[in-house]
């Protein structure tokens, strides 16, 4: 179990992303081979993986946002393509078949998704919502695409001629297969009311190019044929696409190179080490007044409190496997403290949820005083708070208050806020660890670390970071806002006022931000036509990874986003005092803009190019203590 996708995005590490996907495909083949050997071909045991989710996390309320790679089209594209390549491989056969989802324009609200019509301008469509899918098709050669539940500008996504035929196949040249989301085609007549009967819905979807139905609506294809709604050629076309995928997986060839991968390829020490590396790279330090890293010499008694400290739910997010090696945050800290002779005191502190402060007494919240007692007896306190898949997730699988998986605000549940307030009053050094998959506004803590949902090695990674064995190096793949009041209506899909590219307020923490235990210095920016070159130096006394980011904005075009947009990034490991000259290649869209008609055109002749350790804005400079480097590029 690796970090949930939003945690993988926080790594800003394309190479590690591909290694992780390759590991997943190896274990997939191992489990598939073992199942087939026993005649077990049940659901969830095949080789078509419905991943990655490359929707844009446009609003922090969306419950499924933690399945994505964040709010930026370039970051999403780069990580999505590398995940697809790692999963599918480059051999004679595919290792596993990836599926880019949910096509398209899908990011909540969850409770409305079966009848919702996402109205999107041509500019936003082609600048924000479609680029990662286009790259998945053209650069990643993704084998499958999944349609979304919602309508897009009036057309149900799984039956949209505009999306599935004109865009996906004709414009982009996609030659794989399309699957519906589960029961999405039944929504055509049951909720969208664009058809009247199940045969009509089946006909609409298959004629648009949806080859596979997750659900039972395609049981009506024969009726649709008899009613003259489709032809046999329509059915044959989809069957050929689906069987092509099976041939590409080598399922009809006994010499497939992956057939001999044994079950023992799963759950190896090497894979576990990879999961730990990913967890360590993903955790993101937002605040530190000097309390971190903790010193084993100074901290002889550690209090670990909070409802997310000792639960696997805080490690996994939704759509997860079950690892035999899961190490909770408490278990990881306990093992470290035992090794160093540090006494550890633990209290759950409070229940995970309560909608209002006055309702805290109605849920298991009677351990706040116990948590305070632990804190008073300790040299430092680690409070592990946050959410889980039952507080943010997919409609139907999880629920948060009344909003079917979505959040209603950016606050922690009131029970946790009450506990943190009580801990702050003790005056003991307080490290707040947030396990969540989305932006939250949490004021409490001398230091604050977002652990995301870090996977099976989360506990070990947390201990190593808190005690300074490794420096935190994650970066925010989403903007952390002060409040929901800073955002447009959840149902508004216009990008104005959303994400770092168009938000004109002051963020709590900006996109791309994350602190380190060392200090990095950037110098000598040179902006070329295809890449930027910058020197990065570790000016501190601890080895660490820097995540160098390049942002670009057209100086003349009226169609440029409000703020410079991410063009490329690089993760660089540096010893104390070491410096390196780094090349950062631009994404192929970096020197273009999208006009109001949705056409991608040149943004020239001149551009401002920035090299920074985070999004280049005044809040970033305030938090990092250094302004971004800037250069002008003329093309």
Active site residues: 181
Please, which residues bridge with residue 612 across strands? Answer: 549
Residue 63, both tokens: 């419950």
Instruction: With residue 332 as reference, give the H or E element that holds it.
Output: helix 329-340
Distance (Å, whole) CA 414 – CA 357: 5
**Neighbour-count burial of 296, counting CB atoms closer than 10 A to its CB (0-12 exposed, 13-18 middle, 19+ buried):** middle
Is 414:356 a contact under the CB 8 Å cutoff? yes
Distance (Å, whole) CA 518 – CA 293: 11
Distance (Å, whole) CA 627 – CA 460: 34
Is 520:473 a contact under the CB 8 Å cutoff? no
**Neighbour-count burial of 273, counting CB atoms closer than 10 A to its CB (0-12 exposed, 13-18 middle, 19+ buried):** exposed
CB neighbour list of residue 449: distance below 8 Å, 6 or more residues apart: 283, 284, 285, 286, 292, 431, 432, 433, 434, 462, 465, 466, 472
Distance (Å, whole) CA 16 – CA 546: 15
Is 310:330 a contact under the CB 8 Å cutoff? yes
The closest alpha carbon to 509, from 71, 54, 73, belongs to: 71
Distance (Å, whole) CA 172 – CA 157: 17
Residue found under tokens 């190179």: 257
Is 444:429 a contact under the CB 8 Å cutoff? no
Distance (Å, whole) CA 145 – CA 548: 32
Distance (Å, whole) CA 448 – CA 287: 5
Distance (Å, whole) CA 448 – CA 435: 11
Distance (Å, whole) CA 316 – CA 452: 9
Is 105:120 a contact under the CB 8 Å cutoff? yes
DSSP 443-476: ---SEEEE--S--TTHHHHHHHHHTTSS------
**Residue 617 DSSP label:** S
Longest dimension (CA), the chain: 79
E strands in 148-279:
151-152, 155-156, 177-179
Distance (Å, whole) CA 467 – CA 475: 20
Residue 613, both tokens: 């350790």
**Rounded alpha-carbon distances, angstroms, from residue 152 to 117, 125, 599:** 6, 10, 18
């Amino acid at each position: 179990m690796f970090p949930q996708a939003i945690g993988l995005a926080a790594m800003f590490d394309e190479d590690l992303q591909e290694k992780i996907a390759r590991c997943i495909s190896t274990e997939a083949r191992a489990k598939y081979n073992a199942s087939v050997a026993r005649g077990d071909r049940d659901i969830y045991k095949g080789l078509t993986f419905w991943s990655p989710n490359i929707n844009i996390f446009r609003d922090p309320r969306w419950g499924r946002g933690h399945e994505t790679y964040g709010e930026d089209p370039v970051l999403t594209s780069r990580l999505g393509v590398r995940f697809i390549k790692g999963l599918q491989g480059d051999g004679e056969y595919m290792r596993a078949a990836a599926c880019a989802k949910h096509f398209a324009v899908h990011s909540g609200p969850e409770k409305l998704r079966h009848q919702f019509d996402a109205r999107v301008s041509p500019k936003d469509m082609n600048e924000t919502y479609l680029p990662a899918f286009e790259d998945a098709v053209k650069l990643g050669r993704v084998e499958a695409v999944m349609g979304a539940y919602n309508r897009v500008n009036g057309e149900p996504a799984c039956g949209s001629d505009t999306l599935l035929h004109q865009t996906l196949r004709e414009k982009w040249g996609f030659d794989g297969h399309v699957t519906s989301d589960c029961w999405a085609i039944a929504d055509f007549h049951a909720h969208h009311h664009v058809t009247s009967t199940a045969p009509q819905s089946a006909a609409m979807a298959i004629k648009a190019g949806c080859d596979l139905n997750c659900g039972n609506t395609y049981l009506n294809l024969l009726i649709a044929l008899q009613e003259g709604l489709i032809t046999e050629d329509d059915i044959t076309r989809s069957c050929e696409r689906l069987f092509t995928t099976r041939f590409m997986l080598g399922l009809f060839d006994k010499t497939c190179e992956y057939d001999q991968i044994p079950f023992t390829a799963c759950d190896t020490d090497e894979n576990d080490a990879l999961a730990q590396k990913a967890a360590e790279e993903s955790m993101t330090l937002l605040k530190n007044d000097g309390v971190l890293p903790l010193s084993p010499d100074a901290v002889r008694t550690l209090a670990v409190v909070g409802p997310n400290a000792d639960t696997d739910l805080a490690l996994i997010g939704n759509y997860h496997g079950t690892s035999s090696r899961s190490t909770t945050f408490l278990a990881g800290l306990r093992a470290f403290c035992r090794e160093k002779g540090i006494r550890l005191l633990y209290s759950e502190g409070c229940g995970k949820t309560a909608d209002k402060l006055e309702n805290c007494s109605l849920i298991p919240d009677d351990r706040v005083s116990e948590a305070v007692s632990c804190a008073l007896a300790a040299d430092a306190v680690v409070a592990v708070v946050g959410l889980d898949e039952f507080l943010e997730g997919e409609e139907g699988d999880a629920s948060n208050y009344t909003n079917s998986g979505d959040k209603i605000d950016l606050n922690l549940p009131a029970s946790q806020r009450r506990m943190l307030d009580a801990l702050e009053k003790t005056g003991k050094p307080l490290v707040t660890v947030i396990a969540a998959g989305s932006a939250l506004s949490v004021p409490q803590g001398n230091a604050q670390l977002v652990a995301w949902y870090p996977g099976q090695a989360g506990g070990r990674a947390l201990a190593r970071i808190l005690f300074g064995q490794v420096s935190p190096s994650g970066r925010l793949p989403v903007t952390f806002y002060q409040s929901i009041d800073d955002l447009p209506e959840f149902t508004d899909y216009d990008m104005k006022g959303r994400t770092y590219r168009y938000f004109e307020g002051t963020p709590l923490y900006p996109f791309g931000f994350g602190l380190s235990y060392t200090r990095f210095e950037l110098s000598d920016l040179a902006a070329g036509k295809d890449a930027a070159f910058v020197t990065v130096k570790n000016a501190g006394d601890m080895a660490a990874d820097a995540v160098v980011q390049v942002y670009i904005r057209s100086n003349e075009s009226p169609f440029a986003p409000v703020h410079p947009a991410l063009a490329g990034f690089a993760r660089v490991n540096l010893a104390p005092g070491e410096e390196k000259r780094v090349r950062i290649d631009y994404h192929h869209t970096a020197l273009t803009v999208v006009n109001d008609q949705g056409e991608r055109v040149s943004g020239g002749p001149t551009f401002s190019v920035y090299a920074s350790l985070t999004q280049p804005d005044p809040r970033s400079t305030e938090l990092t203590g250094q302004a971004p480097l800037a250069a002008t590029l003329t093309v």
